[in-house]
């Protein structure tokens, strides 16, 4: 068994789409970043990569490489999924949380879970996506950015 922890944060800006869990969410601001800046998927990828001591998403998808400019993080997650299989592991579960004051995310959570499951070739029953606010505190509470955290459990297929 291997456990991994991931965290990501991006600043909210105008003239960018808000994409979380591969879902385009209607909102006046989006997240700034080299790729689509999907903080949820970035945190999930970092937890998966970390569990196998493979570094982080910056190592695998550098923000100074134009081939990743505006790329869908679902495509990046697919690559991470292949690495997990190559190493002989299976995803036991993923538990994640999005930290954002606005917008309200509950209507989009199930679609996020479906996107993640489809991309990782696993069932939604092992993927938890939650959302919370920070009651107006900190940069997320003030609406300056969105953060996400993820933890995962990987199991060794050879045992």
Q: What tens digit of pLDDT does each residue of 123-147 get? A: 999 999 999 999 988 999 999 999 9
The whole-number average pLDDT for the span 14-21 is 97
pLDDT value for 159? 67
pLDDT value for 108? 98
- Is 65 annotated as ligand-binding? yes
**What are the CA-CA distances from residue 88 to residues 33, 55, 68, 78, 97 (Å)?**
32, 17, 26, 16, 27
- Is 10 annotated as ligand-binding? yes
Q: What's the pTM?
A: 0.96
- Is 111 annotated as ligand-binding? no
Which residue bears the tokens 């989006």? 30
> Would you say how long the chain is, in residues?
159
The whole-number average pLDDT for the span 52-61 is 95
pLDDT value for 38? 98
The whole-number average pLDDT for the span 11-37 is 97
- Is 58 annotated as ligand-binding? yes
Q: Residue 25: which of 34, 33, 36, 35 has the closest Cα? A: 36
Share of the chain above pLDDT 90, in %: 92
**pLDDT > 70? residue 109:** yes
Check if CATH label 1.10.20.10 holds for domain 2-156: no
**136 or 100: which leads in pLDDT:** 100
pLDDT band of residue 65 (cuts 50, 70, 90) is confident
- Is 61 annotated as ligand-binding? yes
């Amino acid at each position: 068994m291997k456990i991994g922890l991931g965290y990501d944060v991006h600043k909210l800006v105008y003239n960018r789409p808000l994409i979380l869990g591969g879902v385009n969410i209607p909102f006046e601001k989006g997240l700034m970043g080299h790729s689509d800046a999907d903080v949820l998927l970035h945190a999930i990828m970092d937890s998966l990569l970390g569990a196998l001591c493979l570094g982080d998403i910056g190592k695998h998808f550098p923000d100074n490489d134009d081939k990743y400019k505006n790329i869908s993080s679902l495509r990046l997650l697919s690559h991470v999924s292949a690495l997990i299989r190559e190493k002989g592991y299976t995803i036991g579960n993923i538990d994640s949380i999005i930290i954002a004051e606005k917008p309200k995310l509950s209507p989009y959570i199930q679609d996020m879970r479906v996107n993640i499951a489809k991309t990782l070739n696993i069932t939604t029953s092992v993927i938890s996506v939650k959302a919370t606010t920070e009651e107006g505190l900190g940069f997320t509470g003030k609406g300056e950015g969105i953060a996400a955290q993820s933890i995962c459990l990987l199991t060794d297929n050879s045992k």
